[in-house]
């Protein structure tokens, strides 16, 4: 495995680093000020449109998406670029049109959507004219097991009728969010992993009610459209809005989540790198007990341990990206689960030490650390909790040694 950046990646890295230094980081306080002054608390601050126009001008647009619809990069080429955007996770990804959940939904439409679905929804998403959301998690069931999904999608002539309640539908409160990808059960009598389907439901469909925005550790995440609780009551859409075939929902979800987990993990590493930088500057400037904090053994231990852990995590993510490119997502399933287990916990640990090094300031709005910590902690639940990935990975390892005593599958 050769992880040296090829010419294309290096060229884009240099261009992206310049964009971050010249436009993204200076725009962060502007973004926060505009967010406080919005009339609609869920709308996108105007500076984002300015940054998006500049990103397109610099050729930094849709970098995440392989193939003809995007920049044509491999997972390994995009990974270091995603890490750079993670240094400003609330602003850089959306400025490049590389922000979740739109990225996963665009990948889904590019891979599984019909020509009509791509024309109506993928094209405006690629152009940044609309936003989208993915409605899977439900408040009434343990959604860590996707086969528990209770929302019903029933065929009625030339329409599908949707009934159910979803929550933590990220981005759904943004007024530019025009389409929901809804996971629901079409055939309760089918095998467990063939009961679910995915359906495109326009936000303005009668019977769709956005009830409220949910908080994560007190943050409403309104900068990207929050996390909505949504009711679907006899919501009707044409049968042509079905993605793939009935029963394909679970398989489509797995295909959608693979690249997304690499993106999340690399952005997390970028967050952690910014935290290390802030921590080093802080402990060099602050004095206590007769000298700079940087002279304290425990602080040096934090810094050294942070560097070791981040290098280990990065190598594992790059191996995963390389394996996905060379052998396919299915062959990389163990590694995809491994990075989902390792990276959020590693980054959470680094952020915790950076917060500690800042003292009271680390808890406040005067540094980005508290918000970054919340993002890292939340990702230990999002896209499947740690425990589910550990269980599935362990079963796969046991099967390699013919030692799995359970017929169950995760």
Asked, as a colleague might, if the bond just before 241 is cis with ω within 30 of 0, I would say no
Q: What is the reported pLDDT for 266?
A: 97
- What mean pLDDT comes out for the span 13-19? 98
Question: What is the C-alpha to C-alpha distance for residues 163 and 29, in angstroms, rounded to an integer?
Answer: 42
3 pLDDT band, cuts 50/70/90, is: confident
Q: Are 5 and 76 in contact (CB under 8 A)?
A: no
242-243 and 196-202 beta bridge pairing = antiparallel
131-135 and 177-185 beta bridge pairing = parallel
Q: What is the reported pLDDT for 254?
A: 79
User: Does 324 score more than 70 pLDDT?
Assistant: yes
Q: What is the reported pLDDT for 407?
A: 56
CA angle in degrees (0–180, nearest 5) for 190-250-199: 95
Distance spanning both ends of the chain, measured CA to CA: 30
- What mean pLDDT comes out for the span 294-323? 97
Q: Are 42 and 226 in contact (CB under 8 A)?
A: yes
Q: What are the residues facing 183 on neighbouring strands?
A: 198
CA angle in degrees (0–180, nearest 5) for 205-210-212: 175
Question: What is the C-alpha to C-alpha distance for residues 16 and 272, in angstroms, rounded to an integer?
Answer: 18
Phi, psi (deg, nearest 5) at residue 84: -60, -45
Q: Are 387 and 372 in contact (CB under 8 A)?
A: no
Q: What is the DSSP letter of 339?
A: H
Q: What is the pLDDT of residues 348-400, one digit of tens each?
A: 999 999 999 999 999 999 999 999 999 999 999 987 888 988 998 999 999 98
Cβ neighbours for 76, distance < 8 A, ≥ 6 positions apart: 3, 318, 321, 322, 325
User: Does 234 score more than 80 pLDDT?
Assistant: yes
Q: What is the reported pLDDT for 261?
A: 86
- What mean pLDDT comes out for the span 238-265? 90
Instruction: Please give the C-alpha separations between residue 126 and each of 86, 112, 150, 176, in angstroms, as whole numbers.
Output: 21, 16, 31, 14
Instruction: Please give the C-alpha separations between residue 313 and each of 227, 268, 316, 338, 387, in angstroms, as whole numbers.
Output: 28, 10, 5, 10, 19
Ranges of H-type helices in 230-286: 249-285
Exposure string over 96-115, b if 16+ CB within 10 A, otherwise e = bbbbbbbbbbbbbbbebbee
DSSP secondary structure letters along 169-211: EETTTSTTEEEEEEEEES-TTS-GGGSEEEEEEETT-TTEEEE
410 pLDDT band, cuts 50/70/90, is: very low
Residues 294/296/297/298 CA torsion (nearest 10 deg): -90
Question: What is the C-alpha to C-alpha distance for residues 368 and 278, in angstroms, rounded to an integer?
Answer: 10
Question: What is the C-alpha to C-alpha distance for residues 394 and 390, in angstroms, rounded to an integer?
Answer: 6
Least confident window among 18-32, 279-293, 354-368, 388-402: 388-402
Q: What is the pLDDT of residues 49-91, one digit of tens each?
A: 999 999 999 999 999 998 888 999 999 999 999 999 999 999 9
- What mean pLDDT comes out for the span 137-142? 95
Question: What is the C-alpha to C-alpha distance for residues 211 and 214, in angstroms, rounded to an integer?
Answer: 10
CA atoms within 13 A on the CB side of 408: 9
Quote the crossing angle between the two packed helices 249-285 and 369-378, to the nearest 10°: 150
Q: What is the reported pLDDT for 408?
A: 54
Q: What is the reported pLDDT for 2?
A: 82
Which of left, alpha, beta for 395 (phi over 0: left; psi -120 to 50: alpha)?
alpha
Cβ neighbours for 129, distance < 8 A, ≥ 6 positions apart: 176
152-156 and 196-202 beta bridge pairing = unpaired
112 pLDDT band, cuts 50/70/90, is: very high
Q: What is the reported pLDDT for 296?
A: 95
Q: What is the reported pLDDT for 136?
A: 95
Q: Beta-carbon neighbour count of residue 217 at 10 Å?
A: 11
């Amino acid at each position: 495995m050769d992880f040296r950046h090829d010419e294309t990646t290096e060229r884009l890295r240099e261009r992206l680093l310049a964009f971050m230094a010249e436009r993204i980081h200076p725009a962060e306080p502007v973004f926060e000020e505009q967010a406080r002054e919005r009339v609609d608390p869920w709308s996108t601050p105007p500076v984002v449109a300015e940054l998006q126009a500049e990103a397109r001008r610099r050729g930094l647009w849709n970098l995440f998406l392989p193939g003809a619809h995007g920049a044509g990069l491999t997972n390994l080429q995009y990974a270091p670029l995603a890490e750079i955007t993670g240094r400003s996770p609330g602003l850089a990804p959306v400025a490049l049109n590389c922000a979740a959940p739109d990225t996963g939904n665009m990948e889904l439409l590019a891979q599984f959507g019909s020509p009509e679905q791509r024309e109506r929804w993928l094209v405006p998403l690629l152009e940044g004219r609309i936003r989208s959301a993915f409605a899977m998690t439900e408040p009434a069931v343990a959604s860590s097991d996707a086969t528990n999904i209770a929302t019903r999608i029933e065929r009625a002539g030339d329409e599908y009728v949707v009934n159910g309640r979803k929550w933590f539908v990220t981005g759904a409160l943004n007024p530019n969010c025009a389409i929901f990808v809804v996971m629901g059960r079409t055939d309760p009598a089918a095998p467990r992993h063939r009961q679910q389907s995915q359906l495109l439901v326009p936000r303005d469909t009668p019977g769709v009610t956005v009830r409220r925005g949910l908080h994560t550790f007190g943050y409403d995440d309104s900068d990207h459209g929050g996390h909505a609780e949504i009711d679907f009551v006899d919501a009707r859409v044409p049968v042509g809005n079905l993605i793939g075939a009935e029963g394909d929902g679970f398989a489509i979800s797995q295909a959608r989540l693979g690249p997304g987990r690499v993106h999340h993990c690399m952005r997390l590493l970028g967050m952690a790198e910014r935290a290390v930088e802030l921590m080093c500057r802080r402990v060099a400037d602050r004095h206590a007990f007769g000298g700079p904090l940087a002279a304290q053994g425990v602080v040096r231990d934090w810094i050294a341990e942070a560097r070791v852990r981040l290098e280990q995590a990065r190598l594992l993510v790059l191996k995963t990206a390389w394996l996905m490119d060379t052998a396919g997502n299915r062959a990389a399933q163990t590694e995809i689960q491994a990075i989902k287990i390792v990276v959020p916990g590693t980054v959470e640990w680094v952020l915790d030490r950076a917060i500690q090094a800042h003292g009271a300031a680390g808890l406040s709005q005067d540094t980005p650390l508290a918000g970054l910590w919340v993002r890292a902690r939340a990702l230990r639940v999002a896209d499947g909790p740690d425990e589910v990935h550990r269980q599935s990975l362990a079963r796969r390892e046991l099967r390699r040694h013919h030692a799995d005593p359970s017929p169950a599958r995760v």
